[in-house]
């Protein structure tokens, strides 16, 4: 059940539709990452993986020819095996399955929908349409020829074989019609069309899809420099930076201005003194967001954890037992932080160009956990030290990470 769920039990399958090299698996992984981060139990079932595991990865383009009866029968068997696993997973506690395959014919889609509805599963189709030759070519060369299907194959031979595979699918492709529930994504976010889509969960997925793009960029995450409360081991507050914290702000300024020279950069901070002071005189537009403020410690604000243990032993024990769901008295939990950061996540997804986010430990754990696809229970324990820049560069199936320590 999602952290902000209004429905105690989802049973939904999003069925991908589209020609090869249209970004279906990339889109599916982004949706699953978003839903898992929101506390929804979501999982991808990739039919291509079933084929590789049960038949073998190295299948020539002729295997995918719709006029090849042996190939068609084998591919249908793999599609049905994956569907059986989708239904079984949803029957045992799964909430949102992504059925990742081409599903390009009406006959195949009817079969998928009928089998899932027989298990009481809601079905929504997500069609990825791409008519931009540059995007298709980039996808073929950057992801497809590096897939297990082409291990050990000359890159140009792999590209030629995959293009022939695409041609087979193009001959059989039947686009979605308005009789079904669907989302259509055109050119990876340039246009999003929805038909008969309802509910908060699918609404959130649609919002995410409107933010997607393929432009390369790097996100720079940094905690504020050491604050007076950090030095005293007190939580919360709005204290100033220590001398060490001021020194970090200067080193951060030097590092970022050299690294990002000549680029159009934005700087985001919380509304609290320590993040705004750390941003200091960075030579780019800076914006302060209330959503980026540190987790609200409520009645524990300004206390040390030793003081909480001595004066509020019940609260101390409850936090230790479940740090993700524990809520400070009259304050927040990590789940509350996840929910208030959702608009920030969508804005970061939409953002193009380098972005510097100077924030607080709990907030940056949540942001970092999203972009690196961390399990929800691990997020409150992620190591994010002071005086360190974390550089995250989103790639097709995740994010590349680099950490730069700027300690004295």
Question: Which segments of 228-378 does DSSP mark as H helices, in order?
Answer: 228-232, 243-259, 273-279, 305-311, 313-321, 334-350, 361-371
Q: Which residue from 10, 408, 401 is spatially nearest to 204, judged by alpha carbons?
A: 10
Q: Which of 26, 113, 127, 130 is catalytic?
A: 130
Asked if 58 is an active-site residue, the reply is no
Treating both helix axes as pointing N-terminal to C-terminal, what angle do 24-37 and 200-211 enclose, rounded to 10 degrees? 130
Q: Which residue from 109, 112, 147 is spatially nearest to 26, judged by alpha carbons?
A: 147
Torsion angle of the four alpha carbons 147, 149, 155, 161, in this order, in degrees rounded to the nearest 10: -130
Asked if 85 is an active-site residue, the reply is no
Cα–Cα separations (whole angstroms), residue 400 to 88, 298, 371, 382: 34, 36, 10, 17
Helix (H, G, I), strand (E, B) or coil at 328: coil
Whose tokens are 């589209």? That residue is 18
Q: Is 330 exposed, middle or buried (0-12, 13-18, 19+ CB in 10 A)?
A: exposed
Q: Which of 100, 113, 226, 293 is catalytic?
A: 100
Structure tokens that stand for 129 in this block: 């349409």
Number of other CB atoms surrounding residue 378 within 10 Å: 11
Q: Which residue from 129, 114, 124 is spatially nearest to 175, judged by alpha carbons?
A: 129
Asked if 180 is an active-site residue, the reply is no
Give CA–CA dist 219/228, Å, rounded: 27
Q: Which of 294, 315, 342, 349 is catalytic?
A: 294
Q: Which of 10, 168, 224, 360 is catalytic?
A: 224
CA angle 306, 310, 314 (to 5 degrees): 105
Give CA–CA dist 99/127, Å, rounded: 12
Q: Is 170 exposed, middle or buried (0-12, 13-18, 19+ CB in 10 A)?
A: exposed
Check if the beta carbon of residue 122 is closer than 8 Å to that of residue 11: yes
Asked if 168 is an active-site residue, the reply is no
Strands 355-359 and 219-223: parallel
Q: Is 261 exposed, middle or buried (0-12, 13-18, 19+ CB in 10 A)?
A: exposed
Which residues form the catalytic set? 100, 130, 224, 294
């Amino acid at each position: 059940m999602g952290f902000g769920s209004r429905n105690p039990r989802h049973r939904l399958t999003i069925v991908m539709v589209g020609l090869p090299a249209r970004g279906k698996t990339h889109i599916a992984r982004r949706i699953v990452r978003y839903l898992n981060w929101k506390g929804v139990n979501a999982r991808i079932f990739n039919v291509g993986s079933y084929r590789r595991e049960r038949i073998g990865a190295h299948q020539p383009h002729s295997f995918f020819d719709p006029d090849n009866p042996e190939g068609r029968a084998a591919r249908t068997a793999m599609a049905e095996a994956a569907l059986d696993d989708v239904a079984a997973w949803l029957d045992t506690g799964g909430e949102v399955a992504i059925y990742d395959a081409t599903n390009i014919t009406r006959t195949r889609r009817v079969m998928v929908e009928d089998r899932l509805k027989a298990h009481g599963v809601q079905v929504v189709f997500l069609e990825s349409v791409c008519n931009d030759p540059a995007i298709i070519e980039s996808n073929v060369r950057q992801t497809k020829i590096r897939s297990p299907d082409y291990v050990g194959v000359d890159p140009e031979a792999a590209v030629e074989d995959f293009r022939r595979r695409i041609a087979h699918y193009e001959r059989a492709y039947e686009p979605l019609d308005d009789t079904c529930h669907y989302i259509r994504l055109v050119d990876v976010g340039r246009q999003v069309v929805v038909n008969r889509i309802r509910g908060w969960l699918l609404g959130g997925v649609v919002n995410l899809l409107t933010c997607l793009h393929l432009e390369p960029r790097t996100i720079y995450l940094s905690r504020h420099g050491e604050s007076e409360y950090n030095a005293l081991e007190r939580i919360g507050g709005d204290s100033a930076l220590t001398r060490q914290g001021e020194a970090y702000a200067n080193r951060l300024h030097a590092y970022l201005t050299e690294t990002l020279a000549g680029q159009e950069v934005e700087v985001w901070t919380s509304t609290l003194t320590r993040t705004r002071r750390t941003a200091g005189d960075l030579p780019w537009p800076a914006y302060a967001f209330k959503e980026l403020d540190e987790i609200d410690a409520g009645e524990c604000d300004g206390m040390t954890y030793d003081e909480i243990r001595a004066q509020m032993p019940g609260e101390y024990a409850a936090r230790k037992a479940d740090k993700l769901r524990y809520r400070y008295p009259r304050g927040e939990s990590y789940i509350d932080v996840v929910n208030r950061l959702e608009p920030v996540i969508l804005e970061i997804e939409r953002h193009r160009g380098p972005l510097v986010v100077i924030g607080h430990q709990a907030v940056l754990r949540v942001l970092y956990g999203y972009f690196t696809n961390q399990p929800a229970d691990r997020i409150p324990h992620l190591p994010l030290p002071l005086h360190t820049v974390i550089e995250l560069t989103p790639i097709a199936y995740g994010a590349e990470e680099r950490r730069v320590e700027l300690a004295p």
